[in-house]
Structures are given as C-alpha cells and as structure tokens.
Structure 1
C-alpha cells in the first residue's frame, strides 16, 4: 500500500505525543512510568533487569529516545521503521503511535525477553493476564454463555457481537489510566446495547447490519485480535458462532508475535483462553472444545505476523500481510490500537466517513472498537456534534463504542 510513514501528508494531522493535556501525553508521561513500576514488581527480576528498567524510566521521564543496542535482533527493522531519525528526540515530540510502540519494545528489551537466557520469552505481563482470566468476572461471563445459547438466533448473534465489542474495555493498559484502578465491568449482561446510559455513552455508530450481511457470504474471515484474557474469551465465542452458525468457511485469527501493549493477545494467550473455556463447563466448555477441534482441522488458523507489532498504520503493511487480508471475504479488526492503525492515528473530524479514513484496505473491513483514544471517524454529523459539545473526554473514557464497516 502507498503510505509508508506516520508523518506528513495532506490528510488529517497525525496524533503527536506532546500536546499539553492530551490523552497521548498522559500515556507517555503517566501511564508508561506507572507500567514500569508494575512490571518491576511482576516477577523476581534480577538487579541487572531492575537497573535497566530504572534507566528506561529515567529516559522516558527526563531524557531523549535512545536506539536499540547494536546486537538487538530486530535493530535493522526498527531502523527501517524510523528509529535512527528519532534517536535523540524527546519522547513527547514523536508521533504517538510510534512512541508508544517503541516504548513497549524497549520495555521487553529491559527485562531480557529477547536475549538468550532464563528470561527469554517470559511475558512480563503474564501475571496480570492470568489474574484477569481467572477472575470471578470471567467466571460470570462464561456462565452467561449458557443463557445466550438459549436465545433466538438474532438475539444470540447480537449478544455475542456486543459482548466482543464491549469486552474491549477489559484492557489492562486502559485500567492504568482509570482513576481508582481497574475499569468497571466490561460489557455487562449479554445483549446489552451499550455501556451505562448518559451523555456521551453507548454505541455511537452501529453498522452491524452490514457486518452480518458480509459475514453471511464469507468463505474466509480474518479476525485481528486485540487483548488477551477477559477480552479474548468473548472474541473466541464470536469466532465459534461464525464457524458454527453463520456458515463461515474458515477464520484466520491474527495475534501478536510477542507481548505488546500490556495485554495484547499472543498465541500463548489463545491457548490459555481455550483451556479456561474448556474448564468452565456448560456452553463455555462446548465452545472451547469446538474451537480446539477447529484448530485441529484447519478451519481456525492462528497467525502472528511481525507487522502486528509495528509502529505504523495498516496503509504501510508488507505485501504478504496485504495478500493474506486480500484473500479474505472480510477482515474484522478488534480494539482501539487496531482502529488507530487502520485510520492512521490522525486527528480526523469525527464526522469523516469511515471508508474515507480507511483508504484502500485490501478487503472489506469491519472495526469493533470501544473508543479509548483520540482518533475517531465515521460518526453521524449530529451525533459527532453532540459528543464534541460535551468536551473531548468522550473519546478516551471507554464509554463509547463503534461497529463500522468499509468495503
């Protein structure tokens, strides 16, 4: 695809990290330091690991961007993604998407995730993911599948779609920004239309009718996951629905190749979620069993492309990933980060048509997103005006959501 950088161009301006009072600045100056402290306590890290975390904390709070070490296995690819030109620049002077992505790469480097040795491949976020996956909230949501299974087909479909949509609030990174700790229940009772009522809350763009039309004819669907644990459980339930009752021939589930953005899903997280479903009993266990067999027979495939952890929009995706999406009848993108990458993480007027912001995605594409950052498109102009009149906070509260389709 044509666009290769987050910078410049004649489209809406890119979200930068330094605007005073902005969500982006709060992430870089508040969430990331808090996350380093949380990761420092997650495992019994060695003095050397803790020292590297302390140096990273000093760098992001009072210093400038430093490059990866010369021996880093992925130094060349990060150079191609603009690392050299951004070395020595204050973190808050960078495009937000790039700075946020690079921070997580540096965090993994600090704890030795990529280096040979006993800590290689140890997910620094695993304790939080496991705690959430084993929580009573997760128990209740899996038990709710017993009730959902008894609903008429249209109500069942709607319930599972909304469960996946609002499940995006179960985001461990988002919880760091929530006053008082973890966010409230992610999506409430099955079939709930939106978050609790009030101004600037709920499903503010709903093209689910078009989504179901596309799914009804789909031979192959790509489903790009966002978060692990409690969010991944309803995602898997929705995928099970697509395979069993919507006559979708196959699903390709895209996850991250390594830990990323606190709670993003990896293959290990998929396996953990499947085990959790199968242990739960009832309809949850049946769902987990069906998905396990779907993986065994190939109707559910899991992929982890390196570009899933790139600091770039989907308009800059490599040819092999573009071909994978192009071979699908529909690509479904979950979550806030995927949405930002889809529309370029820019300051669009929220009434800008979603298809215009998406550009030339290689397949029809649908976004299931709880709104948790500044980039928003595709709203009815009246709805957009009403939301904007209430202040910009609606973009980052996690109380609004969209189901949008292009193509």
Structure 2
C-alpha cells in the first residue's frame, strides 16, 4: 500500500487508460468520444435554431469547434492543459494540474481525474462565451430519458400513500427495505453508460415490484442494509443529506426516499447536494429538480396515456415535494467541490466549510458510481479491504454516518467478504459484476 498518497498516486495503483482493454481504456477510446459527439449534435441543433442572433450563433460555432478540438486532443493523447476560463473553481483546477498532473496525458493520468477534467473542459467551452454560459448541453437527454421511465414513475406514485402510512416499526422496516433498493437500482439509469446497456437491462434495473426486488438482492455484493436500518429505525427529526448522482428517474426515487424520511419524522430536513455545472451527462444540478417536478405536473409529458388516477397520484406527490422546497424541509444546494477531480479524502482541506456543514448531518447518502469512486480513491484495492479503511480516516473517523448506494460501473470495489469474489466469478466475468451496472453495493460506515 502506498503511504505517499496524492491525486495521481492513490493508496493502490490508479486505473489508467494505458492499460489496454481496461474500463478506463474503453472509456477514453470509446465512451468519451460518444459523449462528446452527443454534445456536438445537441449544439449543432441549438445553433441551427439560433436564427435571429448572429452573435449567439457565432459563439455557438466556436463552442462546436472547441468540443471537436477536445475530442481530437483525447484521441491524440495530448497533455492536459490548464483551464482558460474565469469560473470560481478555475484557479484550484489549475493548481491541482500543476501540482499533481503536470505533463500528464489523457491516457497516462489517473482515470478519475482525467474523466472529471474532460467534463470541466466541456464546461470551459461554454464558460468562455457570453450567450451560452448557462446552457446545459445534456438537458434534452435528461428530460427525454426521464420520459421513458413513466411506468416506474406512476407505479411509485400510486404506491406512495401505502408506503408512508405504516406506524408499526416492523412494517416500516419492510417499507425501508423496499425503498432503499428502489433508491439503489434507480442508479442504473446513468446516461454516460447507456452505451453498455440494453433496454431490457434498464427496465430490469428499474423494476420496483417486490418479487423483482427480492431477486435483485443476489446482485448486491456488499449488503449493509440491515446496519442502515439499525441507524434509521429510532432516528427522529434529523438532518439527512444526499450527495446526488443522476437526474431523471434516479432523483425521482431519491425524492421518494426523502419523502418517506420526512413523513415518518426520521428527518426534519433533507438536503440534496447537487453539481454546479453539467457533469457526467446526467448528474443533477439545482435547476434539474424544479424542471423534473414541472414535467411531472405536465399531464401531456409522459407517453402511453396514463390514467386519471395515476396522474392525480403523481400530482399529489409532486405538490407535496414542492411544499417541502417552499418550507425548507427539502433544500437544494451545490458546491464546486463535487465537480473537482479529487477523491473525497481531500474534503477537509479543499472545502473545509462544506466538510464542517456536512458534519451536522446524521446521515450522508452518497449516490452512484462516481461518488463511490471518489469515496474510495478509485484505485486497485484488494476487494476485501473494508469500506472504513478505503474512505480514509478523515471521513471514517472524524465525519458522520456515510452510506454509499452504488450500482457497479467501474472496476474499483471494496468491502467484499472473503471468498465472495471467487463465488461471483465462478458464474460471471470480472467485467460483468464490476462494470455493467447489473451488480451493486450498499456500503455503510456508521
């Protein structure tokens, strides 16, 4: 184990695209160009629709050119250059590049930092403009993907009155067991990874019927659900934080879980920590939640002609969520640290005010694969390393209760029982259980 830890020198060897055939390599040579191409297509359509503003059109053409240049830089394995915009995080990004990633290229830098840097470079293209500064190039994708989740959305909306009414602790535990799995598998809809998943895979992972959720338990390779319930069952009027991942259906189920926490008086305040910029295609920015709620209230938004009862149930649910936002029971906030390229061990030094604020929370729920990778420093840990050891002493010992709900979409994973990896790999390949989103971890440090 490496004792001189730094962003390009994690506790164990970092994942790098120099390892041909690895998921980092596949991301660099295949996934990232697809993501940039999708952004280019969106921009070309947006610029073509800009007919009455020549200055905006010219800026849009420059953004298209810069995205094309970024794609070529990656293909040519160029060194990471300093950022050129005036965003508030620009200086810290450039400091980290100079300190840790000087002369590092798109292939030989750590995959975690390089992937974050790619999205920050995309942001630079817009930040340098006047007319496109607030444009979210992923917004149309987020909305269209959520529209395709209508069956699960209405199923949850119809179920919600039954989920929040049980008084007996035993029944509440059953509801919790169901909701935490729904909250976990909602993470399956990551737009940056849809190139790896079939439509059937997505439908299976979004399935919320109890029988299918029971089947899904076998795919949770680290399962601390019972420990989380031990924490939650007697909790009252607490502050609970979510560090969000994807917009669309995933944040919808995060809202369902938050609603249950508030309705059962476990939480008096739930804080949703969002990204500050368009990030990893589908990640939640503060503006995405009101957009999603408005889509739900638009009775023509979802296809397949939902029934009046379904529409009424969803409207009741969404109006309650809007009341939480209005009253401060549900808070949307963002911080640039969530859009840095650093592991979360650096939270106390890089964002001390955020670290101090989060310590006031009784439970912090980190959603999704990227948050997990940042929690455990995204390196080649032995899989039996404990979650407590992997997240490091500043978070494990000085912080608060940490829960990671993550469907596995990258190679790093910790917390497996001895022999569990061999048991899994007697049935499926390492790539199948580590990188496809079909397997998951519920990791808790209480």
Where 1:222 maps in the other structure, the secondary structure is strand
Figure out how many residues of one structure are paired with residues of the other and give that number.
400
Q: What is the DSSP-based 3-state SS (H/G/I as helix, E as strand, rest coil) of the residue aligned with 1:186? A: helix
CA contact (8 A) 2:80 2:105 kept: no
1:145 equivalent in structure 2: 157
Q: Deviations over 1:367-386 (max 9, x none)?
A: 11111111111122232221
- Compute the RMSD of aligned alpha carbons: 2.5
Q: How big is each residue's C-alpha offset from its partner over 1:221-270, in whole Å with a ceiling of 9 and x where there is no partner?
A: 11111000111111111111111115212111101011101100001111
Q: CA deviation at 1:204?
A: 1.8
Equivalences for 1:224-239 in 2 at 5 Å? Answer: 224-239=243-258
Shift of residue 142 of structure 1?
2.8
Please, which of 361, 376, 384 is the counterpart of residue 328 of structure 1? 361
Q: Does 1:37 align with 2:37?
A: yes
Residue 84 (structure 1) shift: 6.5
Q: What is the match of residue 118 of structure 1?
A: 131
Counterpart of 1:310 (choices 340, 359, 363) is: 340
Whether 2:366 is the aligned partner of 1:353: answer no
The answer to whether structure 1 residue 204 and structure 2 residue 221 are counterparts is yes
Relative to total residues, which structure has the larger helix share, 1 or 2? 2
Contact 1:167–1:186 (Cα < 8 Å) also in 2: yes
Q: How does 1:211-290 map to 2 (within 5 A)?
A: 211-216=228-233, 217=235, 219-279=238-298, 281-290=311-320
Say if 2:8 and 2:100, in contact at 8 Å, map to a contact too: no
Name 1:342's counterpart in structure 2.
Answer: 375
Give the Cα separation in 1 of the matches to 2:421 and 2:355: 32
Q: Is the 8 A contact 1:314 1:342 kept in 2?
A: yes
1:8 aligns with 2:9: yes
The answer to whether the Cα contact below 8 Å between 2:83 and 2:93 also exists between their aligned partners in 1 is no
TM-score by length of 1: 0.90
Taking the aligned partners of 1:181 and 1:127, their CA distance within structure 2 comes to 22
The answer to whether the Cα contact below 8 Å between 1:253 and 1:301 also exists between their aligned partners in 2 is yes
Task: Tell me whether 1:127 sits opposite 2:172 in the alignment.
Answer: no
Structure 2 stretches lacking a partner, 5+ long: 48-59, 164-170, 300-310
Q: 1:50 aligns with which of 55, 58, 64?
A: 64
Q: How does 1:84-95 map to 2 (within 5 A)?
A: 86-95=101-110
**Counterpart among 74, 77, 80 of residue 60 in structure 1:** 74
Q: Are the counterparts in 1 of residues 152 and 207 from structure 2 also a CA contact under 8 Å?
A: no
Partner residue of 2:429? 391
Distance 2:223 2:286 in 1: 30
Q: Which runs of 5+ in 1 are unaligned?
A: none
Secondary structure in 2 matching 1:150: helix
CA contact (8 A) 2:240 2:361 kept: yes
Change (3 A) 1:149 1:65: farther
* SS of alignment partner, residue 159 of structure 1: helix
Query: Which has more radius of gyration?
Result: 2
Equivalent position SS for 1:402: strand
Match of 1:82, SS state, is helix
SS state at 2:107 partner: helix
3-state DSSP of counterpart to 1:92: coil
1:252 match: secondary structure: strand
| Cα distance in structure 2, aligned partners of 1:134 and 1:162 | 22
- What is the DSSP-based 3-state SS (H/G/I as helix, E as strand, rest coil) of the residue aligned with 2:419? helix
**CA distance, structure 1, for counterparts of residue 210 and residue 131 of structure 2:** 45
1:364 to 401, 406, 418: 401
1:96 counterpart residue number: 111
Map of 2:195 onto structure 1: 176
Q: TM-score with structure 2 length normalisation?
A: 0.83
Which SS does the other structure have where 2:162 is aligned? coil
Task: Tell me, yes or no, if the aligned pair for 2:245 and 2:371 is still in contact at 8 Å.
Answer: yes
Whether the 8 Å contact between 1:215 and 1:248 is mirrored in structure 2 is: no
Q: Deviations over 1:289-327 (max 9, x none)?
A: 222111211121111011000101110012111112211
